[in-house]
Amino acid sequence: MSVIARFAPSPTGKLHVGNVRTALLNWLYVREQGGEFILRIDDTDLDRSTREYEEGIQTDLSWLGLNWDRSFNQSHKFEIYDAAADKLRKMGLLYACYDTPEELDRQRKLLSLQKKPPVYDRSALELTDAQKKAYEEEGRKPHWRFKLSGDIVSWTDMVRGEQSIQTASLSDPVLIRGDGSYLYTLPSVVDDIDAKITHVIRGEDHVTNSGAQIEIFRALSDHLPTFAHTPLLVGKDGKGLSKRLGSLSIQQLREDGLEPMAVNSLLAKIGTSDPVEIRDNLAQLSSEFSFDKIGRAPARFDEDELNLLNAKLLHETEYAEVKDRLEALGVGGGEDFWNLIRANISKLGDAASWSVMAFAPMAGQIEPEDAEYCALAADALPDKVTDETWSTWTAFLKETTGRKGKGLFMPLRLALTGRARGPEMNKMLAVLGAEKARARLKGLRA
C-alpha cells in the first residue's frame, strides 16, 4: 500500500510552529515511506480565508523544504460535500436542528446543574413537519447534526496505541451551520476518502473528534485511514503556546534570520527519544523518523534551543552554501572572511555587522588609561601584517610594557574591533591590515 498523507491548514492566519510540526511529521513519514504528500487548503470558511494567507502558507512550507506532490482547495469541492450530506440525510444520519444558541446554552447549564455531561438531547429528532415549518416561518435556519451510534469506536493509533471513544458520551456533531456553510468535520472526511488518504497524522486535540469522524467514514465509504495523534507543543516552561503563536509564526522566524534546517531539526526531534541535534537536510531527518520514537508527553519548544541549533548549523556551514546570501547582505571578504567569522555568529545577518567592522571606516573603543598603550602598539606594528604578526607583536608589547593577560590583549581587541569578543585576533589583524589597524589604535576612523 502506497502511503498518502496530507497537511490541511486553513488560510485564515499565518503558519506557526505548532501546525508546521504537524506538516513536518506528515512529510517525514511520507518521504521515509516513499509515498505522496498532499497540501489541502481548508478554505470552506469563505469569509475568513484569504489568498494572501494561502500564499503565505505555500511560502512558509517551501522555505522549510516541505514540498508537496499535489494540492487542492476545499472551496472548489462544495458539490461533492453537498452530495455526501444528501447521502447522510437519506440514511437518517444527518438531521435538522432549530435550537438557538441561547436555547443550547440553557440546556447545557441545566445539565451542569444536574451533574450530567453537556450532551445534546436530540430533541430535534422529535420535531414534526409542522413544528419545523413554524420554526422556519419565525426565520430560524436549521443547522445539521450527524447522528452518532452511541457505540464504542476503537482504533489502533500509531502514537497512542489502542484507543476507544464512547460516542454516547458525545454530542452529535454539527456538520453544517445554519447559514449552510460546512464545519471542518464532513469536508475533511469526504476529502480523505476522495484522495485515498492512508494516514491521518495530527495533534492529539483531535482524538475525541476522531471517534465521530470514524463513524462518518463508515457511513460514507469502506475507506478508513490509519490515525496517529501526536502530543501538542508547549513552551519550555510546560505551558501552552497558544498566546505566543503570533511571535512564533514561520514568517517571523524567517524574518528573524533563522535557518530552515534549524527549525526542522528542532521540531522533528523534540518530544522523541532522539537527542535534539542539528541535521544538514530533510533526507537525514526522514531516514531517522519513526512513530515509535514519539513519546506521550507534550513536546517542549524552546526558542533558546532553536537559537543554539541555528548557531551550530552556521558554524558548520561551508561558504559555497551561503555565498549568494552573504553577497545579498553586502558581506565581502570571500571564503576566508566567512571561515573567520562564522564561529561568532548565531544568525546569518550577524555577518553583516562583522563585515562593517572589518571593511568600513570605524573607530575602536579606547579607554583613556589605555590611550598611551594603544599608541605605542600602533608604532610597534610592522608594515606587513600576516597571521603570525599578532603573536610576535603582542610578545614585544608584553616585554616592553609589562602588561599581561587581559590587560595586554583586551585594549588591543577593543581598539581594533570595538568588541570584547570575536574571531581569532591573529587572523582579524591580517584582514584589517597595518594601515587601518594603526589608525584605529590611535583612535581614528579607519
What average pLDDT does the segment 54-61 reach?
Answer: 98
Rounded Cα–Cα distance for residues 172 and 9 (Å): 25
- What's the confidence (pLDDT) of residue 270? 96
Q: Is residue 446 part of a domain?
A: no
Asked if 349 and 372 sit in the same domain, the reply is no
- What's the confidence (pLDDT) of residue 2? 94
**pLDDT category, 188, cuts 50, 70, 90?**
very high
- What's the confidence (pLDDT) of residue 242? 62
Which triple of cell numbers denotes residue 142? 436549521
Length of the chain: 446
Q: Is residue 219 part of a domain?
A: yes
Give pLDDT tens digits for 107-161. Answer: 999 988 888 889 999 999 999 999 999 999 999 999 999 999 999 999 999 999 9
Asked if 85 and 171 sit in the same domain, the reply is yes
Q: Is residue 38 part of a domain?
A: yes
Asked if 68 and 187 sit in the same domain, the reply is yes
The one-character DSSP state at 340 is H
Q: Is residue 50 part of a domain?
A: yes
Asked if 171 and 89 sit in the same domain, the reply is yes
CB count, 10 Å around CB of 99? 19
For 407, the domain range is 368-441
Helix 17-33 / helix 51-64 crossing angle, nearest 10 deg:
50
Asked if 381 and 354 sit in the same domain, the reply is no
- What's the confidence (pLDDT) of residue 130? 96
Do the beta carbons of residue 74 and residue 40 sit within 8 Å? Answer: yes
Q: Specify the CATH number for the domain of residue 226.
A: 3.40.50.620
Which triple of cell numbers denotes residue 159? 502514537
Q: How many domains does the chain have?
A: 5
Asked if 203 and 69 sit in the same domain, the reply is yes
